[in-house]
Chains A and B, each alone.
Chain A
Amino acid sequence: LAKTTQPISMDSYEGQEVNITCSHNNIATNDYITWYQQFPSQGPRFIIQGYKTKVTNEVASLFIPADRKSSTLSLPRVSLSDTAVYYCLVGASGNTGKLIFGQGTTLQVKP
Protein backbone atom coordinates (compact mmCIF):
# COMPACT_ATOMS: atom_id res chain seq x y z
CA LEU A 1 0.00 0.00 0.00
CA ALA A 2 1.24 3.48 -0.86
CA LYS A 3 2.80 5.53 1.94
CA THR A 4 1.13 8.85 2.70
CA THR A 5 2.47 12.09 4.13
CA GLN A 6 0.23 14.75 5.62
CA PRO A 7 0.76 17.62 8.07
CA ILE A 8 0.73 16.62 11.71
CA SER A 9 -1.51 19.52 12.71
CA MET A 10 -3.44 22.51 11.39
CA ASP A 11 -5.30 25.38 12.98
CA SER A 12 -8.29 27.21 11.56
CA TYR A 13 -11.10 29.51 12.61
CA GLU A 14 -14.82 28.96 12.41
CA GLY A 15 -16.30 29.77 9.04
CA GLN A 16 -13.06 29.31 7.12
CA GLU A 17 -12.42 26.76 4.39
CA VAL A 18 -9.79 24.21 5.38
CA ASN A 19 -7.64 22.32 2.90
CA ILE A 20 -5.57 19.35 4.05
CA THR A 21 -3.10 18.01 1.53
CA CYS A 22 -1.79 14.46 1.46
CA SER A 23 1.22 13.30 -0.56
CA HIS A 24 1.29 9.79 -1.98
CA ASN A 25 4.10 9.68 -4.53
CA ASN A 26 4.03 5.89 -4.90
CA ILE A 27 0.33 5.55 -5.60
CA ALA A 28 -0.47 2.58 -7.85
CA THR A 29 -2.72 2.59 -10.87
CA ASN A 30 -5.59 0.80 -9.13
CA ASP A 31 -5.31 2.65 -5.80
CA TYR A 32 -8.17 4.75 -4.45
CA ILE A 33 -7.73 7.70 -2.08
CA THR A 34 -9.87 7.72 1.03
CA TRP A 35 -10.23 10.08 3.97
CA TYR A 36 -11.45 9.25 7.47
CA GLN A 37 -12.31 11.56 10.36
CA GLN A 38 -11.85 10.66 14.01
CA PHE A 39 -13.17 12.49 17.06
CA PRO A 40 -11.66 11.85 20.50
CA SER A 41 -12.80 8.58 22.08
CA GLN A 42 -14.62 7.50 18.91
CA GLY A 43 -13.80 5.21 16.03
CA PRO A 44 -12.85 6.71 12.65
CA ARG A 45 -15.62 7.68 10.27
CA PHE A 46 -15.48 7.48 6.47
CA ILE A 47 -15.66 10.93 4.87
CA ILE A 48 -14.94 10.65 1.18
CA GLN A 49 -13.21 8.55 -1.46
CA GLY A 50 -11.99 9.26 -4.96
CA TYR A 51 -9.85 8.01 -7.81
CA LYS A 52 -9.22 11.11 -9.93
CA THR A 53 -10.31 14.71 -10.52
CA LYS A 54 -12.89 15.91 -8.01
CA VAL A 55 -15.40 14.26 -5.75
CA THR A 56 -17.91 16.15 -3.62
CA ASN A 57 -20.40 15.01 -1.03
CA GLU A 58 -22.39 16.70 1.70
CA VAL A 59 -19.39 16.79 4.04
CA ALA A 60 -16.32 17.57 1.95
CA SER A 61 -14.65 17.78 -1.44
CA LEU A 62 -11.66 15.79 -2.59
CA PHE A 63 -9.37 17.19 -5.25
CA ILE A 64 -6.98 14.86 -7.06
CA PRO A 65 -4.59 16.20 -9.73
CA ALA A 66 -3.92 14.35 -12.93
CA ASP A 67 -0.70 12.71 -11.69
CA ARG A 68 -2.53 11.49 -8.55
CA LYS A 69 0.61 11.92 -6.44
CA SER A 70 -1.25 14.10 -3.98
CA SER A 71 -4.80 14.88 -2.93
CA THR A 72 -6.51 17.67 -1.03
CA LEU A 73 -9.41 17.29 1.35
CA SER A 74 -11.46 20.49 1.45
CA LEU A 75 -13.81 21.24 4.32
CA PRO A 76 -16.04 24.26 3.61
CA ARG A 77 -16.84 26.71 6.38
CA VAL A 78 -15.60 24.68 9.31
CA SER A 79 -17.20 24.81 12.72
CA LEU A 80 -15.88 23.92 16.17
CA SER A 81 -17.36 20.44 15.73
CA ASP A 82 -14.98 19.76 12.84
CA THR A 83 -12.09 19.63 15.31
CA ALA A 84 -10.79 16.10 14.79
CA VAL A 85 -8.01 13.99 13.33
CA TYR A 86 -8.19 13.48 9.57
CA TYR A 87 -6.54 10.45 7.98
CA CYS A 88 -5.57 10.05 4.34
CA LEU A 89 -5.41 6.43 3.14
CA VAL A 90 -4.29 5.13 -0.22
CA GLY A 91 -4.62 1.64 -1.56
CA ALA A 92 -6.77 -0.85 -3.37
CA SER A 93 -9.21 -3.03 -1.54
CA GLY A 94 -7.17 -6.12 -2.24
CA ASN A 95 -8.40 -9.34 -0.76
CA THR A 96 -9.01 -8.09 2.78
CA GLY A 97 -9.78 -4.38 2.54
CA LYS A 98 -7.76 -3.73 5.67
CA LEU A 99 -6.96 -0.09 6.32
CA ILE A 100 -3.45 1.23 6.88
CA PHE A 101 -3.56 4.48 8.84
CA GLY A 102 -0.77 7.02 9.22
CA GLN A 103 -0.60 9.57 12.03
CA GLY A 104 -3.22 11.79 10.48
CA THR A 105 -3.69 15.55 10.66
CA THR A 106 -5.07 17.03 13.85
CA LEU A 107 -7.31 19.94 12.90
CA GLN A 108 -8.08 22.44 15.63
CA VAL A 109 -10.90 24.86 14.83
CA LYS A 110 -10.92 27.97 16.98
CA PRO A 111 -13.84 30.32 17.64
Chain B
Amino acid sequence: DTGVSQDPRHKITKRGQNVTFRCDPISEHNRLYWYRQTLGQGPEFLTYFQNEAQLEKSRLLSDRFSAERPKGSFSTLEIQRTEQGDSAMYLCASSFSTSGMYEQYFGPGTRLTVT
Protein backbone atom coordinates (compact mmCIF):
# COMPACT_ATOMS: atom_id res chain seq x y z
CA ASP B 1 0.00 0.00 0.00
CA THR B 2 1.60 3.28 -1.09
CA GLY B 3 -0.94 5.65 0.46
CA VAL B 4 -0.54 7.98 3.40
CA SER B 5 -0.18 6.11 6.68
CA GLN B 6 -0.62 7.34 10.24
CA ASP B 7 0.36 5.83 13.54
CA PRO B 8 -1.21 5.15 15.94
CA ARG B 9 -4.78 4.90 14.71
CA HIS B 10 -6.16 5.43 18.19
CA LYS B 11 -4.69 7.00 21.30
CA ILE B 12 -6.24 7.35 24.72
CA THR B 13 -4.35 9.50 27.17
CA LYS B 14 -4.90 11.24 30.45
CA ARG B 15 -5.08 15.00 30.70
CA GLY B 16 -1.65 16.50 31.12
CA GLN B 17 0.23 13.78 29.29
CA ASN B 18 2.22 14.31 26.11
CA VAL B 19 1.38 12.47 22.91
CA THR B 20 3.13 12.14 19.55
CA PHE B 21 1.63 11.09 16.25
CA ARG B 22 3.44 10.02 13.13
CA CYS B 23 2.55 10.50 9.47
CA ASP B 24 4.24 8.83 6.52
CA PRO B 25 3.25 10.61 3.30
CA ILE B 26 3.29 9.24 -0.22
CA SER B 27 7.00 9.04 -0.94
CA GLU B 28 7.24 11.42 -3.89
CA HIS B 29 5.04 14.09 -2.31
CA ASN B 30 6.86 17.18 -1.12
CA ARG B 31 3.91 18.83 0.63
CA LEU B 32 2.55 17.57 3.93
CA TYR B 33 -0.40 18.91 5.90
CA TRP B 34 -1.90 18.30 9.33
CA TYR B 35 -5.60 18.83 10.00
CA ARG B 36 -7.81 18.33 13.03
CA GLN B 37 -11.42 17.18 12.86
CA THR B 38 -14.00 17.14 15.62
CA LEU B 39 -17.30 15.31 15.48
CA GLY B 40 -19.73 16.75 12.96
CA GLN B 41 -17.28 19.29 11.59
CA GLY B 42 -15.06 19.39 8.55
CA PRO B 43 -11.29 19.09 8.97
CA GLU B 44 -9.48 22.25 10.12
CA PHE B 45 -6.03 23.14 8.84
CA LEU B 46 -3.26 23.05 11.44
CA THR B 47 0.06 23.29 9.66
CA TYR B 48 1.88 22.77 6.37
CA PHE B 49 5.34 21.61 5.30
CA GLN B 50 7.06 21.94 1.97
CA ASN B 51 9.85 19.40 2.15
CA GLU B 52 11.36 19.89 5.62
CA ALA B 53 10.31 23.51 6.02
CA GLN B 54 7.24 24.34 8.08
CA LEU B 55 5.78 27.23 6.10
CA GLU B 56 2.44 27.91 7.74
CA LYS B 57 0.82 27.34 11.10
CA SER B 58 -2.82 27.96 11.96
CA ARG B 59 -3.80 30.03 14.97
CA LEU B 60 -5.39 26.79 16.18
CA LEU B 61 -1.91 25.47 16.79
CA SER B 62 -1.21 26.63 20.32
CA ASP B 63 2.22 26.59 21.92
CA ARG B 64 1.49 23.08 23.20
CA PHE B 65 1.53 21.77 19.65
CA SER B 66 4.69 21.20 17.65
CA ALA B 67 5.24 19.54 14.32
CA GLU B 68 8.37 18.44 12.55
CA ARG B 69 9.29 16.91 9.24
CA PRO B 70 12.97 16.01 9.40
CA LYS B 71 14.59 15.39 6.03
CA GLY B 72 11.32 16.10 4.29
CA SER B 73 9.99 12.59 4.72
CA PHE B 74 7.75 11.50 7.63
CA SER B 75 6.27 14.03 10.01
CA THR B 76 5.43 14.03 13.70
CA LEU B 77 2.85 16.07 15.58
CA GLU B 78 3.36 16.38 19.31
CA ILE B 79 0.86 17.70 21.80
CA GLN B 80 2.21 18.58 25.22
CA ARG B 81 0.12 18.73 28.40
CA THR B 82 -2.97 17.44 26.63
CA GLU B 83 -6.36 18.90 27.47
CA GLN B 84 -9.81 17.41 27.00
CA GLY B 85 -10.42 19.91 24.21
CA ASP B 86 -7.62 18.26 22.23
CA SER B 87 -9.80 15.18 21.72
CA ALA B 88 -10.27 14.92 17.97
CA MET B 89 -9.23 13.07 14.83
CA TYR B 90 -5.83 14.24 13.60
CA LEU B 91 -5.48 13.86 9.86
CA CYS B 92 -2.35 14.01 7.75
CA ALA B 93 -2.39 14.67 4.02
CA SER B 94 0.24 14.94 1.34
CA SER B 95 0.43 16.27 -2.19
CA PHE B 96 2.87 17.02 -4.95
CA SER B 97 3.18 20.72 -5.52
CA THR B 98 2.83 20.57 -9.27
CA SER B 99 -0.23 18.30 -9.26
CA GLY B 100 -3.78 19.51 -9.68
CA MET B 101 -4.81 22.14 -7.25
CA TYR B 102 -6.42 20.86 -4.05
CA GLU B 103 -5.81 17.19 -4.75
CA GLN B 104 -4.49 16.06 -1.40
CA TYR B 105 -4.21 12.46 -0.28
CA PHE B 106 -5.32 11.86 3.28
CA GLY B 107 -4.30 9.20 5.74
CA PRO B 108 -6.80 7.33 7.93
CA GLY B 109 -6.21 9.65 10.86
CA THR B 110 -5.28 9.24 14.51
CA ARG B 111 -8.20 9.48 16.91
CA LEU B 112 -7.13 11.06 20.18
CA THR B 113 -9.22 10.77 23.32
CA VAL B 114 -8.11 12.76 26.36
CA THR B 115 -9.69 11.59 29.60
Q: Which residues of A contact B (CB under 8 A)?
A: 32, 34, 41-46, 49, 85, 87, 89, 91-93, 95-104
Query: What is the interface size of chain B, counting residues whose CB is below 8 A from a CB of the partner?
Result: 30
Quick check: is B2 within 8 A (CB to CB) of the other chain?
no
Known A-B contacts A97-B95, A97-B97; A43 and B44 likewise in contact (beta carbons under 8 Å): no
Stretch from B14-22, B72-80, B103-111 contacting the other chain: B103-111
Q: Which of A43, A45, A46, A102 contacts B102 (CB 8 A)?
A: A46
Could you tell me if B42 and A93 are in contact, using CB atoms closer than 8 angstroms?
no
Q: Which residues of B contact A (CB under 8 A)?
A: 4, 31, 33, 35, 40-45, 48, 50, 55-56, 91-93, 95, 97, 100-109, 111
Give me 5 other A-B pairs in contact (C-beta within 8 A), A97-B97, A97-B101 excluded.
Answer: A43-B4, A43-B91, A43-B108, A87-B42, A99-B104
With both chains docked as a complex, state the minimum distance between the C-beta of B93 and any C-beta of chain A, in angstroms.
7
Contacting residues, chain A, for B42 (C-beta < 8 A): 85, 87, 101-104
Top-7 shortest CB links A-B: A43-B106, A101-B42, A93-B101, A34-B102, A98-B45, A96-B48, A46-B103
Residue of B nearest to A101 (CB): B42
Could you tell me if A98 and B48 are in contact, using CB atoms closer than 8 angstroms?
yes
